[in-house]
Amino acid sequence: MTERSGPLEDVTVIDCSMAFAGPFGTALLADLGANVIKVEPPNGDGFRAIAPHPPDYEHAFRHADAGVDYGMPFAGVNRNKRSISLDLKNPEHVEVFLQLCEQADAVVENMRGGVMDELGLSYEVISARNPRIVYATVRGFGDDRTGVSPYGEWPCLDTAGQAMGGLVEATGDVWDVAIGDIYPGTLMALGLVSAVHKAQLTGTGDFVDVAMYDSALALLRSHIPSYSLTGRERKPGRRPLVPFGLFPATDGRFAVAAPVERHWQALCEVMERPDLITDERTATNPKRSANQQFTEDEVARWTSSRSKQELLDLLGGKVPCGPANSMADIFDDPHVAARQMLEDCELPGDNPTISLPANPIKFVSGSTGLYQRPPLLGEHTAEILAEFGLDPDALDDRVVQPPDD
């Protein structure tokens, strides 16, 4: 793709979010066709500096016309966006920002509560300039406008959100894929689209507030009612569905999910263990759950003598299952190729082509995809100002600087 397209093609989002949670959500919107304008301070989103970096990363700061000023984590959540550099501590730049918001459908930020208010850019100020705008936030513990948390002023990062929201005790560990950022970012995008839809019908915008703590808690959809009924914590590893987890293979781990009786019977047949179908300890899922260790040991004894591919050949299509894929496995998987889930992205300067994860939301129209690489800091400042009918020379004093070491 070379042009922006998709179901959100008519939506313009002013994106002040940085790091991971907010940018993940706005990247989803950009993939779906939204015109996402990334507003960055003069020294840029600090996430730009996170390694690994392309070969001429340092070179980019000395020669603004070449190279790349971001690492791969930034690239992963800022595709299909354009960047404008504004110093929101400068009153003239604040006025430019407000003029952008006047023509936008939504504005997104994930700063600590009160920061935008202190800059003179609160929801109330922006909505006074544009009553139909949707103002969306992702914060650790939410915004006072929707519920005052005793932790409201605290900083929060992914790990803390997962821990306080109950995920760590439920799973036994912190999810290294930053689910504490990814899920609230996704919910923010959903809330924003919902509020924009309403604004298009009513002419009135809204304030959308997503807390990282709340998002982690919301993932525990079965744990919460179970605890409220029994008062008992569900310990990591204890499952009401058995077998349902990872089992050892000769070259890694393999997932097997066969709590449904027809799948359990199919598994037992492939294992050549028909006795387990009628065994009083394993005949039904409640019995397998009560005898979880015995059941899992029997399955593990069988899987542990076979490779992941052998297990896939035996169980694929019969039982919900799959290998625990590494990155190398994923890059070689025919499913990934068939679903076009990796997209090539050419970087400026003397850098190799990289792969970015494609949008998992597919349409028959084929109207979404990568059309623009992640932006350099302030790369589109003049272009965006002109597009909004503003003087490209209005920000003569802007300075693009490398992030602090």
Whole-prediction pTM: 0.91
Q: Which residues participate in catalysis according to the annotation?
A: 181
Give the CATH number of domain 12-219+338-387; options: 3.40.50.10540, 3.40.50.300, 3.30.505.10, 3.50.50.60. Answer: 3.40.50.10540
How far, in Å, CA of 88 to CA of 95, rounded?
A: 9
What percent of the chain has a predicted confidence (pLDDT) above 70?
Answer: 95
Where along the chain do its domains lie? 12-219+338-387, 244-332
**What are 186's two structure tokens?**
């996704």
How far, in Å, CA of 37 to CA of 390, rounded?
A: 15
Q: Which residues contact 122 (CB under 8 A, 6 or more apart)?
A: 116
What length is written for the chain? 405
pLDDT one-digit tens code per residue, 8-59: 999 999 999 999 999 999 999 999 999 999 999 999 999 999 999 998 887 6
CATH number of 244-332: 3.30.1540.10
Q: What is the 3-state secondary structure (H, E, C) of 58-106?
A: HHHHHCCCCCCCCCHHHHHHCCCEEEEECCCCCHHHHHHHHHHHHCCCE
How far, in Å, CA of 4 to CA of 369, rounded?
A: 9
How far, in Å, CA of 199 to CA of 38, rounded?
A: 22
How far, in Å, CA of 143 to CA of 126, rounded?
A: 16
In terms of DSSP bridges, do strands 106-109 and 134-139 run parallel, antiparallel, or are they unpaired?
parallel
pLDDT one-digit tens code per residue, 176-200: 889 999 999 999 999 999 999 999 9
With vertex at residue 146, the alpha carbon angle to CA 145 and CA 150, rounded to the nearest 5 degrees, is 85
pLDDT one-digit tens code per residue, 372-383: 999 999 999 999
Residue identified by tokens 């079965």 is 222
Q: Is 12-219+338-387's fold the same as 244-332's?
A: no
Closest CA relative to residue 40, chosen from 95, 4, 81: 81
Q: What is the mean pLDDT of the chain?
A: 92
On whether the CB atoms of residues 205 and 127 are closer than 8 A, the answer is yes
Reported as a pLDDT band with limits 50, 70 and 90, residue 64 is low
